């Protein structure tokens, strides 16, 4: 990784390193997945403080150009379109990522039938004693962790979802195919938060790192509740863009 420092320039060293790495990525010398020179080695090579290199790398990670892998190093991140519009047709996470040319995948961590909690019963309008299907999965774009999702669905209505292999499978597409119950309308509540220990491990971030949380309650063509979900997104790989207007 060829980088030089201009000691006569008024540009801070960290910014010179940062822009040099950006140029290497833009020019194709550094490709997605390539490992960068370690902070210590680059600081030795350039004759500058390791903290200077650390700041440059940290800012590039925050901008989504680099990614850190624990105990492995710093790598060039694959290109990810981080903007999504709220106004428009309803899509599931898998469908939405596919629309933006990404390669989504998901790993089912928990697939079970459990009694519905009071919260879930209220959201899905279920009777007392009702059971739900709980799907807990990790979503990825390429090899990058993208989100962690808890999804709850009425067990009496969608029993096959507890039996079939849902790995790398769209829940929405499966609902439409098996039950003609594709969600048609949803209410999403978006908030900021901090990653728990488990969320941090699954998203590849530090505990307490910023995350974006989205709660969704969707209904089908008949207005019947379909899902109640809680999704935790990697804050550096997901944005919500809302188009709003003032009524005349």
Q: Are 13-76 and 83-241 equal in CATH topology?
A: no
**Residue 89: predicted pLDDT:** 45
SS3 88: coil
pLDDT by position in tens, the chain (length 248): 789 999 998 889 999 999 899 889 988 899 998 999 999 999 999 999 999 999 999 988 877 789 988 888 999 988 765 555 455 444 455 556 555 555 778 899 999 999 998 889 999 999 999 999 999 999 988 778 889 999 999 999 999 999 999 999 889 999 999 999 988 888 888 888 888 989 999 998 888 889 999 999 999 989 999 999 999 999 887 777 666 666 65
Annotated domain spans of the chain: 13-76, 83-241
Find how far residue 160's CA is from the centre of its chain. Answer: 27
In degrees, rounded to 5, the angle at the alpha carbon of residue 8 between the alpha carbons of residues 46 and 27 is: 55
**Domain 83-241 top-level CATH class:** alpha beta
Strand stretches in 37-116, DSSP E: 66-69, 73-76, 83-85, 104-115
**Token pair 């928990």 in the structure block, residue:** 110
Tokens of 147: 């989100």
Sign of the alpha-carbon dihedral angle for 67, 69, 70, 71:
negative
Short-list 150, 124, 92, CA closest to 226: 124
Fold of 13-76: Arc Repressor Mutant, subunit A (1.10.10)
Pairing of strands 83-85, 239-241: parallel
Q: Which pTM was predicted?
A: 0.62
Radius of gyration of the chain (CA): 22
SS3 21: helix
């Amino acid at each position: 990784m060829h980088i030089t420092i201009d000691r006569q320039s008024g540009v801070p060293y960290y910014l010179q390193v940062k822009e040099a790495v950006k140029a290497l990525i833009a020019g194709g010398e550094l490709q997605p997945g390539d490992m960068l020179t370690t902070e210590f080695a680059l600081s030795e090579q350039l004759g500058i403080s390791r903290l200077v290199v650390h700041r440059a790398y940290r800012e590039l990670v925050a901008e989504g150009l680099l990614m850190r892998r624990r105990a492995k190093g710093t790598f060039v991140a694959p290109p990810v379109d981080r903007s999504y519009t709220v106004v428009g047709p309803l899509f599931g996470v898998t469908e939405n990522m596919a629309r933006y040319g990404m390669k989504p995948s998901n790993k089912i961590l928990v697939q079970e039938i459990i009694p519905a909690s009071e919260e879930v019963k209220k959201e899905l309008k279920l009777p007392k004693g009702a059971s739900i299907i709980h799907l807990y999965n990790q979503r990825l774009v390429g090899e990058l962790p993208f989100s962690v999702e808890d999804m709850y669905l009425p067990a009496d209505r969608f029993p096959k979802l507890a039996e079939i292999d849902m790995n790398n499978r769209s829940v929405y597409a499966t609902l439409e195919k098996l039950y003609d119950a594709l969600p048609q309308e949803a209410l999403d509540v978006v908030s900021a938060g901090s990653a728990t220990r488990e969320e941090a491990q699954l998203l590849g971030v530090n505990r307490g790192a910023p995350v974006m949380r989205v709660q969704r309650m969707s209904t089908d063509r008949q207005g019947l509740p379909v899902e109640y979900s809680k999704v935790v997104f990697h804050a550096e790989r997901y944005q919500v863009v809302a188009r709003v207007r003032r009524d005349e």
